[in-house]
Chains A and B, each alone.
Chain A
Amino acid sequence: MATVAKTHSAAHRATLGRESVREALVGYAFVALPIASFLIFFMYPLANAFYISYFDWGALGKIESVGLGNYRDLLDDFLFGKALRNTLYYAAVVVPAQIALGLGLAVIVNQALRFRTFFRAAFYFPSIAGSIAITAVAAYILSADGLLNAGISAISGDEYNRPWFGQSDTALESIMALNIWTTSGTMMLFYLASLQSIPTDVYEAAAIDGAGPWRTFWKITFPLLKPGHFFVAVVSVIGALQVFDQAFFISAGSGGPNYSTMTIVLYLYNTAIEGARFGYASAIGIILFAIIFTLTLIQRLLFGRAEVA
């Protein structure tokens, strides 16, 4: 009671007021350098892209103003339609799989198992090895005469020789599998960090209550990982929607076979670099940004709200 009375004294309120101003200033100071860096090297190029998307823009600059022409063309654009569909499909599969696998690996590794260090290293390894090596290995293993087909032939007894990356039915799916595998290690890392912050008394209490491992995980661990979930989900979605490297490498830039590996960023790259059509490419980039931003906003509203006190 005495404390409450104190809080309401004018002097105290004034102190609180000055305090929150100070807090705000410190807050700005702490984020100043990162925000400045982001404004200059990300937001300015974004604004620039937005500007030139209203033009026919070449390597040397403005060619002519087209207003919303680029965006209108995108609506009818056959290739862009393919790219959009492929990219959304890719993200819809890869994001949940990456998260699930990453979480699973993190939980496994977080257990006080023997050889924990070895497992931690093994599961993270694909993420470390450079993407040239990984994609090359995958191309070798998944080729028509490669290891995977040899394995399948041995098991099934039939001659099996699908070129996984070279067939439109399986090309994108093979890239999905490849990326889920390589990025799961990074997700595992994120989740590991989060798992470490859960106090053990929580587990002890659960154990005392007689909860089994599965129940403990779903009712206690999983909800406590919410900040981790938000992070992993956002980063995963953003990364998946920008898939480019493997699609470029596997299809030699063509997005084939049969448009199966044409992604939005690949189309953007081709338009800008092969066609030198920067205005159109910027329009593609802006649309991609809008999609990602909307999805992130939705995720923020779904997950992110509860955390901030």
Chain B
Amino acid sequence: MADARDLPSVPPVVAAEQLAAEGEVAIGAGPAGIPGQERSERVRRVIVYVLLFLVALLFFVPFFWSVTTSLKTLPESVGFDLLPDNPSIRAYRSALSAYDFNRYFLNSVFLAAVVTTSTLFLASLGGYAFARLKFPGREFLFLLVLGTLMIPNELRLVPIYQMLIDLPVLHVNLLGTYQGYFVINLVTATSLFLMRQYFLTIPKDYEEAAKLDGAGYFKTYWRVMLPLAGPALAAVTILTFQGTWNDFFWPLIIFLGDETKYTLPLGIFQFRTQFYTQWPELMAASVIAIVPIALIYVFFQRYFVAGVTAAGVKG
């Protein structure tokens, strides 16, 4: 005999989306529509918007400077003029032709895509387990997960390098291979941690409903928890993609010697010579490198408003 459980008829995130779509109700704002308050309310809003715009503009400054510098010549680029005298795409041409930038770009996309996929899966699965399943030693293992964040890369360098050259048990050399990179980057503790925290905030009613319907653990995870975790998954996607995309340390160690596998950060580094930096080329390359991340971000940040529409609590 099932208990009468009061399930919300619509998952909360979808309700938020509806409200947000209306665009007028500020979540957390006080009662609206009181006459007399309208004008001062509007003035206040205008001021807030202006301030926010100024702040936002400030946040865009580095990108703006990168772009203008990339259009300058080397002598110009060390000066303080905000705009170039004769903007030219010379630096872009030279950056793209000097080194195999297409190759680097593709490598970066490939690595980021694979690592993000594996992280999404493993982090959400593990995060769900840590948040909802009871198993002995869970607390200890969770501290272990957190512990991995506390070890700087330099400390891991030599042991991992030696392991990659001669993988224990299997005795293969993973240096210079994509597999080597994937193996050491299966999942990040940060993502796992994030997913766990997010799952903790989801009301247990959903899982219990699923259990009543006879769903097993994996099914509950796949059909109930994942769809509800839209914003967290989006956050993990953005962070992991970006983290892998900008990773300089490990691709350097692993792909050294095989230029066909270099990623963008390695390629970009080549514009820094021993004593000075070729700023226009460096900035051109950086601008090119930002575009995919910006696109990923723009695409995935939608999820911060609308959670993925409910897959249906009734299984």
Which residues of A pack against B, CB within 8 Å?
Answer: 3, 20, 23-28, 30-31, 33-35, 37-46, 48-49, 107-134, 136-138, 140-141, 145-147, 181, 185-186, 189-190, 192-194, 196-201, 203, 206-207, 210-213, 216-217, 221, 224, 227-228, 230-231, 234-235, 238, 242, 244, 265, 268-269, 272-273, 278, 281-282, 285, 288-289, 292-293, 296-297, 300, 307-309
Asked, given contacts A42-B151, A118-B56, A128-B242, whether A193 binds B231 with beta carbons under 8 Å apart, the answer is yes
B286's nearest neighbour on chain A, judged by CB, is: A133
Since A34-B122, A112-B24, A122-B57 are in contact, a sample of 12 more A-B pairs with Cβ atoms closer than 8 Å, ordered by chain A residue number, is: A112-B19, A112-B25, A120-B301, A133-B286, A146-B80, A194-B201, A197-B13, A200-B16, A201-B12, A217-B28, A228-B197, A296-B143
Which residues of B pack against A, CB within 8 Å?
Answer: 1, 3, 8, 12-13, 15-16, 19-20, 22-31, 49, 52, 55-57, 59-63, 65-66, 80, 122-123, 125-126, 128-130, 133-136, 138, 141, 143-152, 154-156, 158-160, 163, 184, 186-187, 189-190, 192-194, 197-198, 200-204, 217-218, 221, 230-232, 234-235, 238-239, 242, 246, 265, 268, 277, 279, 282-283, 286, 289-290, 293-294, 297-298, 301, 304-305, 307
A residues in contact with B52, CB < 8 Å: 108, 119
Contact assessment for A197 and B150 in the assembled complex, using a CB-CB cutoff below 8 Å? no
Contact assessment for A192 and B235 in the assembled complex, using a CB-CB cutoff below 8 Å? yes
B221's nearest neighbour on chain A, judged by CB, is: A30
Contact assessment for B201 and A244 in the assembled complex, using a CB-CB cutoff below 8 Å? no
Contact assessment for B144 and A137 in the assembled complex, using a CB-CB cutoff below 8 Å? no
The CA-CA distance from A21 to B163 in the complex, in Å, is 36
**11 A-B pairs in the complex with CB atoms less than 8 angstroms apart:** A38-B148, A41-B184, A42-B147, A115-B49, A125-B59, A129-B290, A133-B62, A133-B286, A207-B30, A231-B194, A285-B154
**Majority SS at the chain B contact face:** helix
B121's nearest neighbour on chain A, judged by CB, is: A33
Contact assessment for A235 and B190 in the assembled complex, using a CB-CB cutoff below 8 Å? yes
Contact assessment for B56 and A122 in the assembled complex, using a CB-CB cutoff below 8 Å? yes
A residues in contact with B239, CB < 8 Å: 186, 189
The CA-CA distance from A133 to B27 in the complex, in Å, is 36
Contact assessment for A133 and B301 in the assembled complex, using a CB-CB cutoff below 8 Å? no
Residue in B126, B130, B152 whose CB lies within 8 Å of A265: B152
Asked, given contacts A34-B123, A34-B145, A193-B235, whether A199 binds B62 with beta carbons under 8 Å apart, the answer is no
B156's nearest neighbour on chain A, judged by CB, is: A45
Contact assessment for A193 and B304 in the assembled complex, using a CB-CB cutoff below 8 Å? yes
B residues in contact with A216, CB < 8 Å: 28, 30
B289's nearest neighbour on chain A, judged by CB, is: A130
Contact assessment for A200 and B27 in the assembled complex, using a CB-CB cutoff below 8 Å? yes
Contact assessment for A200 and B30 in the assembled complex, using a CB-CB cutoff below 8 Å? no
Contact assessment for A129 and B235 in the assembled complex, using a CB-CB cutoff below 8 Å? no
Shortest CB–CB separation between residue B215 and chain A, in angstroms? 12
A307's nearest neighbour on chain B, judged by CB, is: B200
Contact assessment for B133 and A27 in the assembled complex, using a CB-CB cutoff below 8 Å? yes
A residues in contact with B147, CB < 8 Å: 38, 42-43, 46, 289, 293
Contact assessment for B145 and A38 in the assembled complex, using a CB-CB cutoff below 8 Å? yes
The CA-CA distance from A76 to B137 in the complex, in Å, is 39
A residues in contact with B25, CB < 8 Å: 112
Nearest first, the 9 A-B pairs at minimum CB distance are A122-B56, A27-B135, A199-B12, A27-B133, A30-B129, A24-B135, A42-B148, A227-B197, A193-B231
The CA-CA distance from A43 to B129 in the complex, in Å, is 21
Contact assessment for A43 and B133 in the assembled complex, using a CB-CB cutoff below 8 Å? no
Shortest CB–CB separation between residue A254 and chain B, in angstroms? 17
The CA-CA distance from A140 to B79 in the complex, in Å, is 10
